[in-house]
Amino acid sequence: MSEKCSVGRRTFLKSAAVTGAAAFVSGPGTTAAQQTAASGPATAPTLPREADPTGGVDVLTTERPGGDFMVDVIKSLNLDYVASNPGSSFRGLHECIVNYGGNKSPEFLTCCHEESSVAMAHGYFKIEGKPMAVLCHGTVGLQHAAMAIYNAYCDRVPVYLLAGNSIDATQRRPGVEWDHSVQDAAALVRDFTKWDDLPVSLPHFAESAVRAYKIAMTPPMMPVLLVIDGGLQEDPIAAEVQARLRVPKLTLATPPQGDSGAVAETARLLVNAENPVIVADRAARTPAGMKLLIELAETLQAPVIDQGGRMNFPSRHLLNHSEGGRALIANADVILGLELADFWGTVNAFRDSLVRSSRSITKPAAKLISIAAGDLFVKANYQDIQRYRDVDIAMAADAEATLPALIEAVKRQIDANRRRILQERGTKLAEAHHRAFDRARSDATYAWDASPISTARLSAELWSHIRNEDWSLVSDNGGVSRWPMRLWNFDKYYQFIGGSGGAGVGYNAPATVGAALANKKYGRLSVSIQNDGDFMYAPGVWWTAAHHQIPLLAVMHNNRAYHQEVMHLQRMAGRHNRGITRASIGTTLESPNIDYAKIAQGMGVHAEGPITDPKDLGPAIKRAVEIVKRGEPALVDVVTQPR
Amino acid sequence: MQASKCSLLLALMLAGGLTIATLDAQGQTASGVQKPTPAQAPDAPTGNAQKGQQLYTSYGCYQCHGREGQGSTATGPRLAPRPLPFAALTRYVRQPSGQMPPYTSKVVSDTDLADIYAFLQSRPQPPAVDSLPLLKQ
C-alpha cells in the first residue's frame, strides 16, 4: 500500500470510535507539497495544529481514550501514587490520570529526575508494603531510572514501572518522538527487572497490568515494567474493543514456605545446638516478620545478628547481638541465615590486600542453614548473587512465611531440661548485650566535642529530639558507623528500612522522601541521615518534598567527600607505595564547600547550616523538628567526621 | 553515572574481621569506665604533636580512624588518646595483618610516625559517659 493511500491505525480507530460525535474523517493522504508547507523544523516537538499536514476536517476530540481504561485497571491495583517526571510518550495516560482519574489513586507526584521517581517508590514500599507506580519515557526516562531500578532489584523491592513508547513508526511525530521511541524499551533494564511486557491492545494491557503487580509482589519481590504504546493511551476505544474490556481480578500468590522435612531438620539442629546463631538480612517483609523472628529467638534463646536489610529485630532486645556478630559466628555450631544477601560473606573473612585472600571463620563442623527466596529466581548478568556458599540445608522459600512452621517445630522439640539450658544461655546473652550497649555509650564519648562533629554526637543529638515522638528512620545508618542502631531504641518495624540494595549512590535522598510520604498518613516523624555525595545526584527531590508537603527531617552527614572512595584511593596509594597525600583528588567535595542549606532553601525547604560546632546542633534540630511537625520538609546541614 | 560500593566495602571490611581492632589500646573496662591514662607510653619517642596533626591529616590516617583518632566500628579502631605502644603500632603500620593498607618507611618515615604518635597522645580524654545527658538512657 502506498503511503499516499495508507490508513494509519489511529485514523482507522478514529473511524470506529465510540465517541458518538458526528465526524468527517479526513482523507488519509497528504501531498508532499502540503507536508513541505506545513512542516516546521524536523526536531520540533510538536507541530501546531493549524499546520497539520492533513486535508479536510478531522475528528478532533474523544472523550474515551484508551488511557481511561488503563486508569480503571491501575485503580483496581490500589496504587496510591505515581511518581513521574513528565514526558510526551505517556502524555495520554498522564492526562487520563489527572482528569479521568481525578488525580487520586494514583495521585501524580512531580519528580525532577526519573532516578528520584524510582527511588521514591523504593523507599515508599519499605514503609507502606505496597508498590508505587512510576511513569517514565521508555527511552531517556528508563535510562535515567536505570540505576534506581537496579537498587530496587538488588534490594528485592517491587516498583511498578510504566514506560511510554511509540510503537507504530508511521504515526510518530517528526523529530523528538523518534528519538524517544525504541523497538524494545525493556531491554535496557531486563537484566534487573523481574518481568516486563509490551501490551498491544487494551485487553492485553489489563491482563499484563494485573499480572505485573502479582509478579512484583511475589517473593522474591522485584521491579516490573510495562511498556505502554502512545497510541493505546491516546486513541479512542474502538467499539469492538470496548466490548472486550474487563478488569481482571488480582489475587496475590501466597509466599512460598519451606519444605516440611527441611523445616523439621532445621528445628532439630537449632534445638540441639549449644551455640546457635540467627542471622537476618531481608528476613522481615512485614511487621509480622519481626514478631516471628522475636518469637523464634526467644524460644531458642539464640542470639540474633541483624544485618539490616530490613527492620528484623529490636535493637535493645537482649538477644540482639549484631555488634558482636563475627565472634558469635566463629563460635557457632548452627548458623541459620534468613534471606541473606551474602551468606558467604557472613561466614568468611576476606582481605582486600595486594594478594586477595579469604578464609572461613566458622567451626569446621558448624551446620549452615539458609532460608531465602532468592534461590527461586536468579539472573545471570548482574552479579548481586554474591559468592556461592556451602550450606547444609538450603530452603528455597520465603523466610517470613516459613517462620511459623519453624517456630512450631522448635517448640515441639524442646523438653523441660532443654528449656532450662536455653534459659541459662539466655541469661548470659542478656549480660553480653548489656555490656555491648555500655560499650557503645562509652565509645560515643570520644571526639564528643570535636569539630567536625562526630557521627556519634550527631546521632545522639538527633535521638534526643525524636525519642519521645512516633519516629521512623528512613535512611540507612552504615555511613555513620551504625550509631543509631547502637544507641537508639528501635522496636517497631517502621523505624528502620535498611539500605539501597545495590549501593548505587543517589538512592538515599529520594528514597527517604518516598518513605516519608508513606509515613505521612500515619503521622510519624520521618528522619533521615543524608550523605552529602548522595544529595548531589538529584537534589531536585527536595523540591518534590516541598511541593507535595512531605514532612521529613534530613540531618546531613556532610563529610565533604565521597568518603568511601577516599579510602579506596588511600588503599591503592598505600599499596602502590609512592605517596599517600593525594587521596582527596577526585574524591572530595571541597573548594568550594557546597552550601546544602542554600540549595534546599532554593527549593522551598527549611534548611540550616553548615553547622560545625556541636553546641549548635541540638537547637538547629529542635527548630527543624518543629517545621517537620507542621508537615514540611526540613534539612540541617552538619559538617561531620568521616564515619 | 557513578555507582559507589560504599555498603559493599563496609561489608567486606566487616567480613575481614577487622583484625586491626588490635590497634585499639584504649583503657576501657567492659562497663565503659575509663582507666587512667599514662602521661607517656614508656617506649614512645619524642615527637612533635602539632606536626603530627598535620601528618595525620595529610597522610589520610583520619579517613578510617577519625580526625581525633576516635575510630569507627565500620572502618578502623580507636587510636587516641592512648595508642598502642609505639613499637607495636609501628610494626602494624609497616606490616598490617588486617584490612589496613601498608605504609612503608618510604611514604611514612619513623620520624613521621613519632610525630603522629605524639598527636594521638595529645588528644583530650573524653568526658565521662555519665556526665553527658544525651548518653543517659
The pLDDT tens digits for A290-315 are 999 999 999 999 999 999 999 999 99
Final residue before a domain boundary, out of A237, A253, A269: A253
Question: Could you tell me if A248 and A273 lie in one domain?
Answer: no
Q: Which helix (H) or strand (E) holds A259?
A: none
Contact call for A567 and B64, based on CB within 8 A: yes
- Bridge-based pairing of strands A334-338 and A304-306 is unpaired
Residues A420 and A523 in one domain: no
- Angstroms from A342 CA to nearest CA on chain B: 9
User: Collapsing DSSP states into helix, strand and coil, what is residue A586?
Assistant: coil
Asked if residue A112 is part of any domain, the answer here is: yes
| Range of weakest confidence among A180-194, B15-29, B71-85 | B15-29
Report whether pLDDT(A484) > 60.
yes
Which of A344, A453, A475, A643 has the highest number of chain B CBs within 10 A, making it the mutation to test binding with B? A643
**What CA–CA distance (Å, rounded) separates A281 from A325?**
13
Of B30, B31, B135, the CB nearest to A444: B135
A chain contacts of residue B105, beta-carbon cutoff 8 Å: none
What's the average model confidence in pLDDT over A507-531? 98
Regarding whether A91 and A23 lie in a shared domain, the answer is yes
Distance from CA of B70 to the nearest CA of A (A): 5
A250 neighbors A214 (Cβ within 8 angstroms): yes
Residues A64 and A211 in one domain: yes
pLDDT number for residue A600: 98
**Number of independent structural domains in chain A:** 3
For residue A571, list chain B residues with Cβ-Cβ distance below 8 A.
Answer: 101
d(CA A309, CA A284): 9
Could you give all domains of chain B from N- to C-terminal order, each with its CATH number?
39-125 (1.10.760.10)
DSSP A391: -
pLDDT > 50? residue A61: yes
When CB atoms are compared, the residue of B4, B32, B74 closest to A565 is: B4
Instruction: Judge whether residue A16 has pLDDT over 80.
Output: no
Cβ–Cβ of A446/B126 closer than 8 Å? yes
- Chain B contact probe: residue of A282, A445, A529 with most B CBs at under 10 A: A445
Q: Residue A37: which pLDDT band, with cuts at 50, 70 and 90?
A: very low
Say which CATH number the domain at A314 has: 3.40.50.1220
Q: Which of residues 125-164 of A touch B (CB under 8 A)?
A: 147, 150
Hey, CA dihedral for A455, B12, A350, A326, is it positive or negative?
positive
Q: Classify burial at A550, counting beta carbons within 10 Å of its beta carbon; exposed 0-12, middle 13-18, buried 19 or more.
A: buried
| Domain assignment of residue A438, yes or no | no
Whether residue A525 is contained in a domain is answered as: yes
CA A336 – CA A338 distance, rounded (Å): 6
Q: How confident is the model at residue A1 (pLDDT cuts 50, 70, 90)?
A: very low
Question: How far is CA A495 from each of CA A155, A233, A469, A516, A627, rounded to the nearest angstrom?
Answer: 18, 40, 11, 11, 20
Amino acid B17: pLDDT:
33
Confirm or reject contact between A436 and chain B (CB < 8 A): no
Could you tell me which chain A residue has the CA closest to the CA of B17?
A349
pLDDT at residue number A324: 83
Residue with cell 492485553: A204
Give the pLDDT of residue B2: 42
Please say whether the beta carbons of A516 and A474 come within 8 A.
yes
User: Does A311 lie in the same domain as A192?
Assistant: no
Q: Which of B12, B15, B132 sits opposite A445 (nearest CB)?
A: B132
**Which helix (H) or strand (E) is A370 found in, with range?**
strand A367-371
Residue A383, SS3 per DSSP: coil
Separation in Å, CA of B101 to nearest CA in chain A = 5
- The stretch A261-265 carries a mean pLDDT of 98
Please tell me which of the candidates A447, A500, A570 has its beta carbon nearest to residue B101.
A570
Q: Does A559 touch chain B (CB under 8 A)?
A: no
Instruction: pLDDT band for A277, please (50, 70, 90 cuts).
Output: very high
pLDDT for residue A59? 86
- Half-sphere exposure at residue A147, Cβ-oriented, CA atoms within 13 angstroms: 19
pLDDT at B42 over 90: no
Q: Which residues contact A277 (CB under 8 A, 6 or more apart)?
A: A302, A303, A304, A305, A328, A329, A332, A334, A335, A336
Beta carbons of B17 and A580 less than 8 Å apart: no
CA A481 to chain centre: 22
A238 with A385, same domain: the answer is: no
CB contact under 8 A, B126 and A447: yes
CB atoms within 10 A of CB A469: 14
pLDDT number for residue A52: 55
Task: From A234, A253, A272, give the residue that closes a domain.
Answer: A253
Same domain, A224 and A140: yes
Report the gap between the CA of B46 and the closest CA in chain A (Å). Answer: 24
* Bridge partners, A107 (sequence order): A81
Interface contact A346, partner B, CB < 8 A: yes
Owning domain of residue A609: 445-638
Residue A96, domain CATH: 3.40.50.970
First-residue to last-residue Cα distance in chain A: 68
A600-627 mean pLDDT: 98
State the Cα–Cα distance between residues A554 and A633, nearest whole angstrom.
8
> Is residue A373 within 8 Å of residue A421, measured between CB atoms?
no
| Residue numbers in B near A455 (CB within 8 A) | 72
Q: Is A217 in the same domain as A264?
A: no
CA dihedral B84→B85→B91→B93, nearest 10 degrees, is: 40
User: A100 and A172: one domain?
Assistant: yes
Burial class (CB in 10 A: 0-12, 13-18, 19+), A61: exposed
Q: How confident is the model at residue B41 (pLDDT cuts 50, 70, 90)?
A: low
User: Is A440 inside a domain boundary?
Assistant: no
Contact status of A520 with chain B (Cβ, < 8 Å): no
A136 assigned to some structural domain:
yes
**A421 and A479 fall within a common domain:** no
Among candidates B8, B66, B132 on the partner chain, residue whose Cβ is nearest the Cβ of A447: B66
Cβ distance of B74 and A504 shorter than 8 Å: no
Residues A462 and A528 in one domain: yes
The single-letter DSSP state of residue A100 is I
Residues A432-460 have pLDDT tens digits of 999 999 999 999 999 999 999 999 999 99
- What residues of chain B lie within 8 A of the CB of A578, using their CB? 106-107
Whether A436 is covered by a domain: the verdict is no
Q: With left for phi above 0 and alpha for psi between -120 and 50, is residue A175 left, alpha or beta?
A: left
Residue-level pLDDT at A18: 42
The per-residue pLDDT for range A402-433, each reduced to its tens digit, is 999 999 999 999 999 999 999 999 999 999 99
Beta bridge partners of A161: A134, A225
Rounded Cα gap, residues A332 and A31, in angstroms: 81
3-class secondary structure for A45-98? CCCCHHHCCCCCCCCCCCCCEHHHHHHHHHHHCCCCEEEECCCHHHHHHHHHHH
Q: What pLDDT sits at residue A41? A: 43
pLDDT digits (tens, 9 = 90+) for A366-404: 999 999 999 999 999 999 999 999 999 999 999 999 999
Rounded to the nearest angstrom, the minimum Cα separation between B40 and chain A is: 19
Angstrom distance (rounded) from CA A341 to CA B42: 47
Cell 523540591 locates to: A543
Query: What's at A583, amino acid-wise?
Result: A
How far, in Å, CA of A443 to CA of A450, rounded? 14
| CB < 8 Å to A579, chain B | 107
A643 inside domain: no
Residue A408 sits in the same domain as residue A453:
no
Residue A471: left if φ>0, alpha if ψ -120 to 50, beta else—which one? beta
Q: Could A502 and B3 be called an inter-chain contact, meaning their C-beta atoms sit closer than 8 Å?
A: yes
CA A437/CA A448 separation, integer angstroms:
17
Per-residue confidence (pLDDT) for residue B137, from 0 to 100: 74
CA angle A465, A466, A470 (to 5 degrees): 155
Q: Which three cell numbers stand for residue A296?
A: 523464634
Q: Tell me: the pLDDT tens digits for A532-569?
A: 999 999 999 999 999 999 999 999 999 999 999 999 99
State how far the Cα of B24 lies from the Cα of A439, in Å rounded to an integer.
Answer: 14
Give per-residue pLDDT as tens, A315-350. 999 999 999 889 999 999 999 999 999 999 999 999
- Which residue's entry shows cell 481514550? A65
The average pLDDT across A594-599 equals 98
Beta pairing, strands A348-351 & A367-371: unpaired
Instruction: From A84, A155, A123, select the one nearest A520 (Cα to Cα).
Output: A123
pLDDT tens figures, B60-83: 999 999 999 999 999 999 999 999
| CB contacts, 8 Å: A642 with chain B | 62-64, 66-67, 72, 75
State yes or no: pLDDT of A46 exceeds 50: no
Mean model confidence pLDDT for chain A = 93
**Cα–Cα dist A155/A498, whole Å:** 9
Cell digits of residue A97: 490520570
Q: Which residues of B touch A566 (CB under 8 A)?
A: 60, 63
Q: How many CB pairs below 8 A link A and B?
A: 186
Task: Return the minimum-mean-pLDDT range out of A46-60, A246-260, A374-388, A602-616.
Answer: A46-60
Torsion of CA A450, A454, A460, A464, to 10 degrees: 60
A288, A311, A260, A292: which is closest to A407 by C-alpha? A292
Q: Indicate yes or no: CB of B71 within 8 angstroms of CB of A323.
A: no
Domain-terminating residue out of A253, A282, A313: A253
- Residues of A with Cβ-Cβ distance to B127 under 8 angstroms: 445, 448-449
Residues in A 208-247 with any Cβ partner in B closer than 8 A = none
Strands, DSSP E only, in A486-566?
A: 525-531, 552-557
pLDDT exceeds 90 at position A30 = no
| ipTM summary value | 0.88
Whether A439 is in a domain gets the answer no
A21 — pLDDT class (breaks 50, 70, 90):
very low
The bridge status of strand A606-611 relative to strand A525-531 is unpaired
Mean pLDDT of all residues in A494-506 = 98
Question: How far does the CA of residue B43 sit from the closest CA of chain A (Å)?
Answer: 24
- How far apart are the C-alpha atoms of A418 and A420, rounded to whole Å? 5
The band of B19, judged by pLDDT with boundaries at 50, 70 and 90, is: very low
**Amino acid code (one letter) for A432:** A
**Integer Cα distance of A92 and A355 in angstroms:** 57
Only one residue has cell 539501597, namely A500
**R_g over Cα of chain B:** 16
Chain A CA closest to residue B62:
A642
